[in-house]
């Protein structure tokens, strides 16, 4: 971090600190809007020595061997690996711009969702969930920046379970079993984990994965309490996922390690790669007669440009934008495209399936000792915190407060595999009130009347919270275009908690009971840890802590972890929901692949950035193998 950037960073912290301590209390709507304005102003300031100046040299019509659409984790890996072949040229197009240095600060990750680095998508209002959310809608963050969602996520690194990948392969997708994908996880990893199964990790890869340097006393007490409740300490990226452990993050020296930093920055001066920001792809160019993709049409600063691909177009625009781009290009459900007057080139079930990981933010425990994050002022008023951060340590390295992961198998699970979790519990050394409702409240679209009732009375108090995440939902949603205008956001129907047997709700409630069981153990009771029992507005008519009460809560406030999968689902040709084959080729279209978490056929026991990197590594090898005859000729 150079001196100018350091001064900017500290200036921002001072602004936040002054806001958080004004009069001892804050009006969160006013302060929140001001903070968002401040962040936007800082990040939109002119770049000092931009890392990708070549992005400004635009040719209206250019030709390349490969065009990669989207510079998130998967696209960044593919661009890196394909340009290892010196005679191959790659154009990487990204709709967003370079990220500001502020995005490196782990503690501020939640704030990144309220900048131009996020597309700002929301789910459509539906009955059955989010009844108490503002407008009945959930936030669906998605990265619109060089580095994609790895710039705005919480940096939580989880590969997933062996069963996830073995079942992926068993569904007719050869090459995607755990034993076949595991080497790719190892390939990109540079691990710095203190308590790990060493044979499951690797040093020397592009992506740094490490322990979080800072841990609250509450996190340490929670880990001990979970062990007292029967959960073994484990490396959840090792031999056994079930159990409790401190979170592993994509951190380098205490700062965010994004896909841009890990995979693009090292290759930005390669002569055979062009990394172009601010380039919004509007359409894949496909010959309707031969059904071959031969390029893309994109806009940049008000001008239309065309880029042509000698070999392939590879769509890595994420689980929300990849299906949108396919449908805008004439690849999708025939009836839907015809309704929007989009010429149909290939009738495929794009967007008809969308799974996601849901979480509930309302399980909060009050503590009688200063062992957690107290409030934003406490975290930002100590000058030593900034000095610690400059050295890669201290509270500011926290992943937005996320500290501990517990993978459990509830008594609701009917899965025949005993080692397969059905819930993840992630412990936060604070709660929605920790920042006075400035950011966290808005992440979950919690209206002021609910915040004022539940969280405002907790401001300035010591609390911790546990958020259960449903890792294998039975409910599934879908995506539709709003119009054929590429600048209209798609319509996202999440369909949470809609499975006819109510298994998703029952699994959530079983997880809430396990959280209470963990909290009841001596390690937490030492600090008088007590469940906050203020009834959630809208659920006052249900008896507190009954199953009916918790179901009401789940249907009132719920959020997305933005882990959508299967929107461009991988599967054999016999799968009626499949869009791409096991080699990532779009069915019926030559020269076009889709890569990224959009192809994953079912929800995995992971935070999806890890699988996104793995898919990038495997995709690059698949592409090299498919063009190996040419590589041999060049050599």
Longest dimension (CA), the chain: 74
Nearest to 428 by CA among 134, 156, 33: 156
Crossing angle of helices 3-20 and 28-43, in 10° steps, is: 170
Beta strands in 269-345 (DSSP E): 273-276, 280-287, 292-300, 303-315, 331-332
pLDDT band (50, 70, 90) for residue 552: very high
Taking the C-alpha atoms of residue 148 and residue 108, their distance in angstroms, rounded to an integer, is 17
pLDDT at 183: 98
Taking the C-alpha atoms of residue 125 and residue 133, their distance in angstroms, rounded to an integer, is 9
pLDDT at 19: 43
pTM of the model: 0.94
pLDDT in tens, 597-628: 999 999 999 999 999 999 999 999 999 999 98
Instruction: Check: CB of residue 508 under 8 Å from CB of residue 360.
Output: yes
Tally of residues, the chain: 635
Instruction: Check: CB of residue 197 under 8 Å from CB of residue 182.
Output: no
pLDDT band (50, 70, 90) for residue 544: very high
pLDDT at 59: 65
pLDDT band (50, 70, 90) for residue 23: very low
HEC assignment per residue over 543-597:
CCCCHHHHHHHHHHCCEECCCCECCCCECCCCCCCCCECCCCEECCCECEEECCH
SS3 176: coil
Distance of alpha carbon 282 from the chain centroid: 24
- Around 24, how many Cα atoms within 13 Å sit in the side-chain half-sphere? 0
- Quote helix, strand, coil % in the chain, to nearest 5: 35, 20, 45
pLDDT at residue 377 greater than cutoff 60: no
A 10 A CB-CB count for 36 gives 17
**Residue in this structure with the two tokens 């000058």, named with its chain if needed:** 383
pLDDT at 379: 56
What residues have CB less than 8 Å from 358, skipping those under 6 apart? 129, 469, 470, 473, 494, 496, 497, 504, 558, 559, 560, 561
Q: Copy the structure tokens of residue 547.
A: 């199953």
DSSP 54: G
Helix (H) or strand (E) holding 255: strand 255-256
pLDDT at 32: 58
pLDDT at 47: 57
**According to the annotation, is 281 in a ligand binding site?**
yes
pLDDT at 208: 98
Concatenated DSSP letters of 349-394 = -TTS-BB--EE----EEE-SSS-S---HHHHHS-HHHHHHHHTT-S
Helix (H) or strand (E) holding 69: strand 61-69
pLDDT in tens, 408-465: 999 999 999 999 999 999 999 999 999 888 899 999 999 999 999 999 999 989 999 9
pLDDT at 41: 59
pLDDT at 38: 57
* Assigned CATH topology for domain 53-99+260-355+565-634: FAD/NAD(P)-binding domain (3.50.50)
pLDDT band (50, 70, 90) for residue 391: confident
What residues have CB less than 8 Å from 538, skipping those under 6 apart? 131, 132, 450, 552, 556
CB burial of 297-330 (b: ≥16 within 10 Å; e: otherwise) equals bbbbeeeebebebebbbbbbbbbbbbbbbbbbbb
Pairing of strands 402-408, 423-428: antiparallel
CATH pick for 105-146+210-256+356-560 out of 3.30.710.10, 3.40.50.970, 3.40.50.720, 3.30.560.10? 3.30.560.10
CB burial of 80-97 (b: ≥16 within 10 Å; e: otherwise) equals bbbbebeebbbbbbbbbb
For the segment 530-541, the average pLDDT, to the nearest whole number, is: 97
The terminus-to-terminus CA distance of the chain in angstroms comes to 41
Instruction: Check: CB of residue 142 under 8 Å from CB of residue 320.
Output: yes
What's the mean pLDDT when you consider all of the chain? 91
Question: What counts of helices (H) and strands (E) characterise the chain?
Answer: 18, 26
pLDDT at 11: 47
Q: Residue ranges per domain, the chain?
A: 53-99+260-355+565-634, 105-146+210-256+356-560
Instruction: Please classify residue 340 by burial: count the beta carbons closer than 10 Å to its beta carbon, then call 0-12 exposed, 13-18 middle and 19+ buried.
Output: middle
Which of 49 and 15 is assigned the larger pLDDT? Answer: 49
CB under 8 A, 24+ apart: contacts of 216-220: 216/371, 216/372, 216/373, 216/403, 216/429, 216/464, 217/371, 217/372, 218/367, 218/371, 218/372, 218/403, 218/427, 218/429, 218/462, 218/464, 218/527, 219/246, 219/403, 219/404, 219/427, 219/429
Instruction: Check: CB of residue 462 under 8 Å from CB of residue 368.
Output: yes
For the segment 273-289, the average pLDDT, to the nearest whole number, is: 97
Angle, CA of 136, 139 and 144, to the nearest 5°? 150
pLDDT in tens, 561-591: 999 999 999 999 999 999 999 999 999 999 9
pLDDT at residue 334 greater than cutoff 80: yes
pLDDT in tens, 119-142: 999 999 999 999 999 999 999 999
pLDDT at 1: 42
- The reply to whether 105-146+210-256+356-560 shares the fold of 53-99+260-355+565-634 is no
Residues annotated as catalytic (active site), given as ranges = 563, 607
- Around 618, how many Cα atoms within 13 Å sit in the side-chain half-sphere? 27
């Amino acid at each position: 971090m150079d001196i100018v950037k350091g001064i900017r960073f500290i200036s921002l912290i001072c602004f936040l600190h002054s806001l958080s301590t004004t009069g001892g209390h804050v009006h969160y709507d006013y302060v929140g809007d001001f903070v968002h304005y401040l962040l936007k102003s800082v990040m939109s300031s002119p770049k000092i020595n931009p890392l990708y100046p070549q992005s400004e040299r635009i040719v209206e019509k250019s030709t390349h061997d490969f065009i990669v659409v989207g510079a998130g984790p998967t696209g960044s890996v593919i661009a890196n690996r394909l340009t290892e072949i010196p005679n191959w040229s790659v154009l990487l197009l990204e709709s967003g711009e370079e990220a500001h240095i502020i995005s490196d600060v782990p503690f501020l990750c939640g704030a990144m969702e309220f900048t131009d680095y996020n597309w700002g998508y929301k789910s459509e209002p539906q009955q059955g969930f989010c009844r108490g959310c503002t407008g009945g809608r959930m936030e669906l963050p998605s990265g619109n920046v060089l580095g994609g969602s790895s710039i705005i996520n919480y940096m939580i690194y989880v590969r997933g379970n062996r069963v996830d990948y073995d079942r992926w392969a068993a569904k007719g997708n050869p090459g995607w079993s755990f034993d076949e994908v595991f080497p790719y996880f190892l390939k990109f990893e540079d691990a710095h984990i203190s308590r790990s199964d060493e044979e499951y990790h690797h040093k020397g890869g592009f992506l740094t994965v490490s322990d979080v340097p800072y841990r609250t006393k509450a996190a340490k007490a929670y880990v001990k309490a979970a062990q007292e409740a029967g959960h073994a300490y484990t490396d959840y990226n090792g031999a056994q996922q079930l159990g409790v452990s401190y979170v592993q993050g994509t951190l380098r020296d205490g700062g965010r390690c994004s896909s841009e930093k890990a995979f693009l920055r090292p290759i930005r001066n390669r002569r055979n790669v062009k990394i172009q920001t601010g380039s919004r792809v509007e359409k894949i160019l496909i010959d309707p007669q031969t059904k071959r993709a031969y390029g893309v049409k994109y806009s940049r600063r008000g001008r239309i440009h065309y880029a042509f691909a000698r070999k392939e177009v590879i769509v890595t625009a994420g689980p929300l934008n990849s299906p949108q781009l396919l449908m805008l290009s004439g690849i999708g459900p025939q009836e839907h495209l015809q309704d929007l007057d989009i010429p149909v080139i290939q009738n495929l079930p794009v967007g008809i399936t969308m799974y996601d990981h849901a979480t509930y933010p309302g399980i909060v425990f009050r503590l009688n000792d200063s062992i957690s994050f107290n409030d934003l002022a406490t975290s930002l008023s100590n000058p030593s915190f900034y000095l610690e951060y400059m050295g890669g340590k201290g509270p500011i390295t926290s992943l937005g407060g996320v500290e501990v992961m517990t993978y459990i198998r509830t008594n609701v699970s009917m899965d025949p595999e005993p080692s397969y979790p059905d819930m993840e519990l992630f412990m936060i050394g604070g709660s929605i009130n920790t920042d006075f409702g400035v950011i966290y409240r808005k992440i979950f679209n919690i209206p002021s009347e609910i915040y004022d009732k539940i969280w405002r009375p907790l401001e300035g108090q010591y609390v911790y919270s546990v958020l259960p995440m449903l890792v294998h939902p039975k409910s599934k949603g879908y995506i539709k275009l709003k119009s054929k205008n590429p600048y209209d956001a798609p319509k996202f129907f999440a369909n949470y908690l809609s499975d006819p047997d109510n298994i998703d709700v029952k699994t959530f409630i079983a997880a809430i009971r396990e959280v209470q069981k963990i909290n009841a153990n001596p390690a937490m009771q030492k600090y008088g840890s007590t469940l906050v029992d203020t009834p959630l507005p809208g659920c006052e008519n249900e008896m507190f802590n009954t199953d009916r009460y918790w179901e009401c809560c789940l249907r009132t406030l719920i959020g997305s972890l933005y882990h959508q999968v299967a929107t461009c689902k991988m599967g054999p040709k016999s799968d009626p929901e499949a869009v791409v084959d096991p080699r990532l080729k779009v069915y019926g279209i030559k020269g076009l692949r889709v890569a990224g978490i959009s192809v994953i056929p079912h929800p995995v026991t992971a935070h999806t950035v890890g699988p996104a990197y793995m898919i990038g590594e495997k995709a690059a090898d698949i592409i090299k193998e498919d063009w190996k005859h040419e590589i041999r000729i060049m050599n």
